[in-house]
Structure 1
Amino acid sequence: MFHYFPGNYMWSLAVNRALASGGMFGEINWACEGLRDASRNGPQGDNEAWHLSWLRLAKQLEDIAKDAASSGHKITARDHFMRAALYYQWAEAFLKPDDARCEPVFASHLHAFAQGAQRFDPPIEIVNIPFEGATLHGYFVAAPSASDARPAVVLSDGLDGTKEEMIYVALALAERGISTLAIDHPGQGATLRLSGLKARHDSEVAAGAALDYLATRNDVDAQRVGIVAASMGGYYAPRAAAYEKRFKACVAWGAVYDYHGIWARRFKAQPGKPISLDVTQAMGTTGDHILHILGMPDYDRALRYLEPFHLREAAKNITCDILILHGEDDKQTPASEAKMLFDSIPSSRKTMRVFTRAEGGAAHVQLDRPEPALSMLCDWLVDRL
């Protein structure tokens, strides 16, 4: 993976994520070139400097978008609003969850995205799905020129990801005739920040609500719906497909077989002993965010809460077509997780593709080289939906 900040994996991963989601290298470099020293300031770097640099970039892009919109230049406005939304996301990403700036910066992220979304043809629709007394927040990206009911995909991201970050996948699917409902699951994006819904292991419940919504649309063929999710979504999507039998196909993009086990290793947890304070301090804002996402007050209770986050039983119930995409050099979820999931699925309707260092795409969710994985994912869904 390209390490813009050598020695700082999280910041470098963020740069790769922003690039994959439609960010421009020149813009990102403009924001980050002065952060080299800040990146070496502790395990997480100087997150205040990071915030200010990305906020400056986001505001600059939004100002360009507003000027273009006032002059009637729709495409320029759309593209700059969309990138401004992406950069606002990264301006907020490493702030502590209780930082007073999180709410207004995330609101700017959503506003910029909404301004860009309405300028697509057809427009990207903002969707609010009632869910257990609250709301699942989403977008519907329609396949263009669809005169009949089209196949569709429920799309989401991972632990700290957002539906906005995944829109590039929805746009790639739309070009191939597949519509997309991109949602923030409980614990993600706007569903976490605006609805207060924390992460939960039974992802099939929220995915089922998404399916219920799609079934109300005349432009969706409810018999031809798949589910795609990345990173931690490599747990959420297979779990949902195992118990929500309306899904015809599933893509686990960065497979997760035992999410609890992954965090136990990160925490260096030992049976019968509390989690080391030194370890949690070293995790910086990553540790703060996992507590916020799970709604837990401390790391020991967070680890207990994560105990049902595994696919040992669920994998046996996966009967739909499933594609597992993984990287040989995934630093967050080892390739052994993908193999365990693949081996545990009894159905023959399964495919696994592990990208190697030699060919590229070996990093987490192929962020070192998003193609050809993205096209492979989209074409696989075209063939099965």
Structure 2
Amino acid sequence: MNHRHTSHSVYPDGFYADDGRDFAVRLLLGYCASGGADVGEVLTTIAGCRDDHDEEWSNAWLALGRRLVAAADGSSRSGHRVSAASAYLRAANYLSQAFDGLDGIADDAQRMPVFAEHRAAWEKFLDHGDFDVARLSIPYEGSTLPGWYLTPTHGHTGATLVVINGSDGSVSALWSAAAFGALARGYGVVLYDGPGQQSMLFERGIGFRPDWEAVQTPVTDHVLTLPGVNPNRLALYGISQAGYWVPRSLAFDHRYAAAIADPGVVDVAASWTKHLPKHLTDLLHAGKAQAFNRDLAMGLKLSPATRRMWDWRARPYRAADPDATDFDTVTAVGEYRITPDLAASITTPLLITDPDDEQFWPGQSDELAARCADGLATVVRFTTAEGASWHCQPMARSLTDERMFDWLDDQLSPPPSGP
């Protein structure tokens, strides 16, 4: 083994100088606990990816994902179901990384076939997994939302976890975020693409909406028709920006026995505005759209990478109006808030994660808990010393599963029988 260069401080020091790329690596390594990635595959892939070479980054994950799909196809043809499922799942996550990496450097004609490869790998994983699966078409505003209902082959307890994705995560990432842990504990799991998420955005051009109760209510209606679902043991989980959509939904839909916000979010726009210089914030608050757009454009012109990131984050908000300006976009994001009145309408026990070094919404987990009725919300801290810092504890998902499912089990336990 070559020991000429070693680092024992990669956890605090990071894998890349670029925060986005560093976080992507942490997420992938976190998937390893649930079979969503393999450590060696991740580390050897990033070893060949230089900083600031975006196409090189995307191509590396694309090549790895395609290689694993080919291997999985071979395992499947030979009847090796477990091996096929394993490779398909990892491939789905790597292909998703390749797809994300193309944003801003390739048009949809190049990107969308990669998205299709990602989703095909995900579907093949479901077909080979050690669980039962039903594809869902959830009625929604004259159309449908795509979804999946996964249940343990044996030992289904009737408890069901409905999962809301964040702003940009893939459906295969939700396997590691919640589905794997839920199935292992006898829960059924419902996953779906909502407005602005994955296929709804990329294939249908449907963007986010702040009134997520208009989404979650029909989802809940449909979930309650599924076989094996106990209406008294229904739970809701949301990751990343769904830390806003969960409490927003709970303020209107009181059919959930327990819910988890990972983490808590009361003001989505804070993750946008905290990076703006004061003069831009002043222009925004003063409603001076023309000056705001002009000065922001000048600043972003100096950093193409930041411009790409900005446009990527804006895309789900602009789906309904591609001509929306930057001022329009930030103003729209400002509607995504959990006011004290909304929080006061929540009656569902709520677990809220709160990691050290939260990058996007620091302090908002405590704010959400404080706005809920006394005793309704429980904040669970995750620390650097536990290897559980940063947004959604990316490298501590086993620990996260243990804490949130132990709490859920207690909340969903049948009441004790009388004497």
TM-score by length of 2: 0.85
Query: Structure 1: how far apart are the matches of 2:298 and 2:101?
Result: 20
Question: Which of 141, 148, 158 lines up with 2:166 in the alignment?
Answer: 158
Work out whether 1:294 is the aligned partner of 2:294. Answer: no
**How much has 1:4 moved relative to structure 2?**
5.1
**How much has 1:17 moved relative to structure 2?**
1.4
Question: Which of 366, 376, 396 lines up with 1:339 in the alignment?
Answer: 366
CA deviations over 1:196-239 (Å, ceiling 9, x no partner):
22011111221112111111112101232111011111111111
Count how many residue pairs are aligned between Structure 1 and Structure 2. Answer: 376
Q: Do 2:132 and 2:152's aligned partners in 1 also have CA atoms closer than 8 Å?
A: no
Shift of the 239–95 alpha-carbon distance from structure 1 to 2, 3 Å rule, reads same
Aligned to 1:274: 292
Q: Do 1:327 and 1:362's aligned partners in 2 also have CA atoms closer than 8 Å?
A: yes
Q: Which runs of 5+ in 2 are unaligned?
A: 1-10, 284-290, 413-419
Aligned to 2:376: 349
**How much has 1:142 moved relative to structure 2?**
0.8
Q: Do 2:27 and 2:395's aligned partners in 1 also have CA atoms closer than 8 Å?
A: no
Query: Structure 2: how far apart are the matches of 1:350 and 1:92?
Result: 37
**How much has 1:154 moved relative to structure 2?**
1.0
Q: Do 1:155 and 1:183's aligned partners in 2 also have CA atoms closer than 8 Å?
A: yes
**How much has 1:291 moved relative to structure 2?**
2.2
Query: Structure 1: how far apart are the matches of 2:20 and 2:101?
Result: 10
**How much has 1:308 moved relative to structure 2?**
1.4
**How much has 1:267 moved relative to structure 2?**
3.8
Work out whether 1:310 is the aligned partner of 2:317. Answer: no
Query: Structure 1: how far apart are the matches of 2:121 and 2:268?
Result: 33
1:338 is matched by which residue type in structure 2? S
Query: Structure 2: how far apart are the matches of 1:347 and 1:163?
Result: 34
**How much has 1:294 moved relative to structure 2?**
0.9
Query: Structure 1: how far apart are the matches of 2:148 and 2:204?
Result: 16
Query: Structure 1: how far apart are the matches of 2:43 and 2:264?
Result: 31
Query: Structure 2: how far apart are the matches of 1:171 and 1:369?
Result: 14
Query: Structure 1: how far apart are the matches of 2:80 and 2:116?
Result: 24
Q: Do 2:266 and 2:364's aligned partners in 1 also have CA atoms closer than 8 Å?
A: yes
Query: Structure 2: how far apart are the matches of 1:26 and 1:177?
Result: 30
Aligned pairs for 1:55-94 within 5 A: 55-94=62-101
Work out whether 1:359 is the aligned partner of 2:386. Answer: yes
The farther-off stretch of 101-110 and 26-35 is 26-35
Question: Which of 229, 240, 254 lines up with 1:220 in the alignment?
Answer: 229
Aligned to 1:24: 38
Aligned to 2:145: 136
Query: Structure 2: how far apart are the matches of 1:237 and 1:370?
Result: 19
Question: Which of 205, 209, 212 lines up with 1:200 in the alignment?
Answer: 209
Q: Which runs of 5+ in 1 are unaligned?
A: none
Shift of the 111–3 alpha-carbon distance from structure 1 to 2, 3 Å rule, reads farther
Query: Structure 1: how far apart are the matches of 2:335 and 2:312?
Result: 19
CA deviations over 1:257-293 (Å, ceiling 9, x no partner):
1112322223444233505224444323321212211
Query: Structure 1: how far apart are the matches of 2:185 and 2:222?
Result: 22
Q: Do 1:94 and 1:285's aligned partners in 2 also have CA atoms closer than 8 Å?
A: no
TM-score by length of 1: 0.92
Which structure would you say has the larger Rg? 2
Shift of the 25–321 alpha-carbon distance from structure 1 to 2, 3 Å rule, reads same
Aligned to 1:14: 24
Over the residues paired in the alignment, what is the CA RMSD in angstroms?
1.9
Query: Structure 1: how far apart are the matches of 2:129 and 2:397?
Result: 23
Q: Do 1:158 and 1:231's aligned partners in 2 also have CA atoms closer than 8 Å?
A: yes
Report SS of the residue matched to 1:330: coil
Q: Do 1:235 and 1:257's aligned partners in 2 also have CA atoms closer than 8 Å?
A: yes
Shift of the 139–235 alpha-carbon distance from structure 1 to 2, 3 Å rule, reads same
